[in-house]
Amino acid sequence: MSDYTAGDVDLHHVKRVTKTEFRIYFALIFALALVPHILGWLYQLVRHLGMPRRDPVSRAWLDARAITPMIFRG
């Protein structure tokens, strides 16, 4: 069995991520999610001959809000 009490190793230290890094990842995910959501929105617009409930920007925003924290959970 290993002895983790010896030495200067802090096993419970959590490395904080800067807001800038989080925002960069968020922007990249948002930009990448925007294109498929625009295409899907246009497809629904043509197929159903009506406006979809949620616009592509808000769908991409929700995807980015859900995915970005998953990257930093580690």
pLDDT along the chain (74 residues), means of 10: 60 70 94 94 88 87 93 79
Is the pTM value of this prediction over 0.85? no
Does a structural domain hold residue 7?
Answer: no
Asked if the structure places residue 53 within a domain, the reply is yes
Classify residue 23: in a domain, yes or no.
yes
Cα-based distances in Å from 34 to 11, 42, 44, 63: 39, 12, 15, 9
Task: Look at residue 6 and tell me if it is in a domain.
Answer: no
User: Residue 6 has what pLDDT?
Assistant: 59
Question: In angstroms, rounded to a whole number, what is the distance separating the alpha carbons of residues 70 and 73?
Answer: 5
| Predicted pLDDT at 18 | 80
Q: Residue 50's pLDDT is what?
A: 80
Containing structural domain, residue 33: 19-73
Give domain status of residue 66, yes or no.
yes
**Measured between alpha carbons, how far is 68 from 57 in angstroms, rounded to an integer?**
16
Return d(Cα 16, Cα 21) in angstroms, integer: 10
Place of tokens 């990842």: 25
What pLDDT score was predicted for residue 60?
94
Number of structural domains (the chain) is: 1
